[in-house]
Amino acid sequence: MKHDREFWTRHVEGWRASGLTQQMYCRRHRLTKSTLGYWVQRLKRPAAEKSDLVEVGRAPIKEQRPSSSIELIVGGRYLLRLWSGVEPAHLREVLSVLECRP
């Protein structure tokens, strides 16, 4: 039987509040210990880490983009694809957001 994030969030919180070991909690609630352990780890991550995408808004497009672009790798972690006509201020905003990410 497959359960959703809400189901596992309730059980992870329940296990933490119970004072039981994961094994004892799982036995009591008829859960698989490895699955509970997986969700314990998954739910530890802050929401921001769950996606590598960062929304910074949209820049107005002044002209039709040509078919070719320039690709820029930032910090070995991000690939930016730039077309002619990109506003420098918008690019600075994107780079400042990426530099703040751990």
Residue 24: per-residue pLDDT: 94
Looking at the fold, whether 38 and 58 belong to one and the same domain comes out as: no
The number of domains in the chain is 2
The mean per-residue pLDDT over the stretch 21-33 comes to 94
Hey, what are 29's tokens? 């609630």
What's the pLDDT at 29?
94
Question: How does the average pLDDT of the chain come out, rounded?
Answer: 79
Higher pLDDT, 57 or 14: 14
pLDDT tens column, 46-67: 654 555 566 666 656 555 555 6
**pLDDT of residue 99 exceeding 70:** yes
User: Minimal CA–CA distance to 57: which of 91, 99, 100?
Assistant: 91
Residue 82 and residue 65 in one domain? yes
Structural domain boundaries enclosing 78:
51-100
| pTM beyond 0.75 | no
26 & 56 share domain? no
